[in-house]
């Protein structure tokens, strides 16, 4: 169902591709999910309380994974990481509430110098580096 959010299954992030198996990555994902079960439940509750995020997180299951996986910045505890992720997910949607969500339409701030436009968009490449760029 598109109106509900549930922590994504490992297969949705790491499906096998042709002859390449992602069984090891799925195992690590499941292990991290098990180790961070309490934070995942808090994250699911956060998303339920902010239903405007459900379409984004259902369409991009990898956007949830930073809750359970430490990436580049190892300074944050699981609690701090969850707080930063929830703050980050809400910051722009709250500040730009009068605009369509960034995952539906990027914001063009216009031409800064000749042939150079400034855009604000969702991060399509690596959500563990941040959701917006």
| pTM to 2 decimal places | 0.76
pLDDT in tens, 4-47: 999 999 999 899 988 999 999 999 999 999 999 999 999 999 99
What are the tens digits of pLDDT across the range 91-123? Answer: 877 877 777 777 777 778 888 888 888 877 777
Terminal-to-terminal C-alpha distance of the chain: 29
**Nearest Cα residue to 36 out of 7, 59, 12:** 7
């Amino acid at each position: 169902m598109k109106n509900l959010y549930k922590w994504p299954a490992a297969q949705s992030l790491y499906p096998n591709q042709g002859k390449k198996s992602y069984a090891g990555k799925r195992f690590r994902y499941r292990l991290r999910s098990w180790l961070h079960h309490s934070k995942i439940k808090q994250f699911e509750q956060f998303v339920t309380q902010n239903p405007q995020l459900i379409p984004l997180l259902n369409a991009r299951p990898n956007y949830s994974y930073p809750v359970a996986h430490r990436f580049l910045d190892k300074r944050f505890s699981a609690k701090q990481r969850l707080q930063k992720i929830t703050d980050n997910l809400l910051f722009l949607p709250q500040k730009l509430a009068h605009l369509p969500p960034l995952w539906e339409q990027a914001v063009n701030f216009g031409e800064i110098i000749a042939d150079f436009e400034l855009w604000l968009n969702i991060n399509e490449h690596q959500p563990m580096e941040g959701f917006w760029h």
